[in-house]
């Protein structure tokens, strides 16, 4: 199974072909319009957002049975809990955005993970998307820091695919997933795939290269491959 997460930085309709060239079974897409998702031909598609021009979506292309889990709530926007029934696999796709002045980025994700804890209490589970956070900013968020979020996910049995495969520490990532304003001199690692221990035994993770992707978005796609 090939699961791709990509913050397309708007204008998905004009960028569709480049990401479809990666042959995703499931696509988690951030900063996309409701209209562009509605025009996508796929067995499953679901878009959420308060701005019709800039939300997030999950699209299922492979021949599976997909279902939005009943735990879904608009209380935590830009988080989509989807079940793939045949595996069974639970995927929480996300775009850590701003709910209000107090709940921003990693703080929102903390609250959403607490809400979806039961949804994530299965042996095959994934939390994937644009987290907009990194351990380098821990001191700004204190008890709701990125490192505290990593620990919270670990308590649910989830590990970062990137850090597990690369042997790198949080906050010391060698490969960026985002370049601020598309400048190579401003790299950050903000996109993650957290997966259950069972899935981590037979997974791969590829991050798109800036020479191929930077002209389309400030974020590089994550390509998670799983042997199920």
pTM, rounded to two decimals? 0.97
pLDDT in the model for residue 98: 77
Residues 6+ apart with CB under 8 A from 223: 2, 3, 4, 22, 24, 205, 206, 207, 208
Instruction: For residue 44, list its beta bridge partners.
Output: 60
Instruction: For residue 226, list its beta bridge partners.
Output: 203
Question: What token pair was written down for 114?
Answer: 């607490």
In the block, residue with structure tokens 């049975």: 65
Q: Sign of torsion, CA 172 94 160 209?
A: negative
Q: What is the pLDDT along the chain (228 residues), one digit of tens a residue?
A: 999 999 999 999 999 999 999 999 999 999 999 999 999 999 999 999 989 999 999 999 999 999 999 999 998 889 999 999 998 999 999 999 977 767 779 999 999 999 999 999 999 999 999 999 999 999 999 899 999 999 999 999 999 999 999 999 999 999 999 999 999 999 999 999 999 999 999 999 999 999 999 999 999 999 999 998
Backbone φ/ψ region at 127: left (φ over 0), alpha (ψ -120 to 50), beta:
beta
pLDDT in the model for residue 130: 98
Residues in the chain: 228
pLDDT in the model for residue 34: 98
pLDDT in the model for residue 100: 74
Which of the four CATH numbers 3.90.1640.10, 1.10.10.60, 3.30.460.80, 3.60.10.10 does domain 2-226 have?
Answer: 3.60.10.10
pLDDT in tens, 120-177: 999 999 999 999 999 999 999 989 999 999 999 999 999 999 999 999 999 999 999 9
Residue 115 DSSP label? H
pLDDT in the model for residue 102: 76
| Distance linking the first and last C-alpha atoms of the chain | 7
Cβ neighbours, 10 Å, residue 155: 10
DSSP-H helix ranges across the chain: 12-20, 34-38, 106-115, 138-141, 146-155, 161-166, 197-200, 210-213
């Amino acid at each position: 199974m090939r699961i791709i997460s990509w913050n397309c930085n708007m204008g998905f309709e004009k960028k569709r072909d480049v990401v479809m060239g990666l042959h995703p079974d499931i696509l988690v897409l951030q900063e996309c319009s409701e209209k562009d998702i509605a025009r996508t031909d796929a067995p499953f598609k679901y878009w959420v957002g308060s701005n019709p021009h800039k939300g997030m979506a999950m699209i299922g292309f492979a021949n599976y049975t997909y279902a939005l889990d009943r735990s879904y709530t608009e209380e935590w926007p830009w988080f989509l809990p989807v079940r793939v029934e045949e595996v069974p696999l639970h995927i929480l796709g996300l775009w850590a955005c701003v709910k209000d002045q107090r709940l921003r980025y990693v703080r929102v994700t903390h609250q959403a993970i607490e809400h979806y804890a039961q949804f994530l209490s299965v042996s095959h589970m994934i939390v994937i998307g644009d987290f907009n956070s990194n351990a380098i900013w821990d001191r700004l968020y204190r008890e709701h820091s990125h490192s505290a979020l990593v620990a919270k996910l670990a308590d649910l049995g989830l590990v970062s695919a990137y850090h597990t495969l690369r042997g790198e520490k949080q906050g010391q990532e060698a490969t960026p997933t985002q370049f601020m304003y598309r400048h190579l001199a401003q790299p950050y690692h903000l996109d993650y795939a957290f997966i259950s221990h069972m899935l981590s035994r037979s997974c791969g993770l590829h991050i798109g290269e800036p020479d191929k992707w930077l002209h389309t978005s400030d974020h590089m796609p994550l390509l998670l491959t799983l042997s199920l």
